[in-house]
């Protein structure tokens, strides 16, 4: 009876998880991989949820439930806080005001 191992690893941090399954629909082959649904989970070193930080600090990949078929995951994006939005808005207004002032000064001359 074949045993299928599914997992994710973050090599830089030496962390990850693996879960072993007894069934695959359709049949899965490493020679010709196709999308498959794995079932009959038998062993796991996984404690949900499991979070992988994405490069550049742009968010996370969060694996919620590996025991269901298909397992669920989500990508969470880093969203600026309200204070950061306010600072960006003030900066934009300052740059626009400076440009307008230079435009008026050049037009008057």
pTM: 0.41
Evaluate whether 49 touches 21 at the Cβ level (below 8 Å).
no
CA gap 62, 84 in Å, rounded: 24
The mean pLDDT of 4-22, rounded to a whole number, is 73
- Quickly state the pLDDT bin for 107 (edges 50, 70, 90): confident
Q: Average pLDDT over the chain, rounded to whole? A: 76
CA distances from 104 to 91, 93, 96, 98, 99 (A): 20, 16, 12, 10, 9
- Quickly state the pLDDT bin for 96 (edges 50, 70, 90): very high
Place of tokens 């599914």: 6
CA gap 21, 102 in Å, rounded: 68
């Amino acid at each position: 009876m074949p045993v299928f191992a599914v997992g994710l690893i973050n090599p830089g941090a030496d962390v990850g998880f693996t879960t072993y399954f007894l069934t695959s629909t359709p049949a899965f082959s490493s020679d010709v991989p196709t999308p498959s649904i794995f079932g009959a989970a038998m062993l796991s070193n996984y404690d949900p949820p499991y979070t992988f930080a994405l490069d550049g600090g742009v968010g996370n990949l969060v694996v919620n439930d590996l025991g269901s078929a298909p397992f669920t995951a989500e990508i969470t994006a880093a969203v600026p806080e309200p204070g950061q939005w306010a600072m960006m808005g003030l900066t934009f207004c300052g740059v626009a005001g400076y440009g307008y002032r230079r435009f008026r000064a050049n037009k008057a001359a």
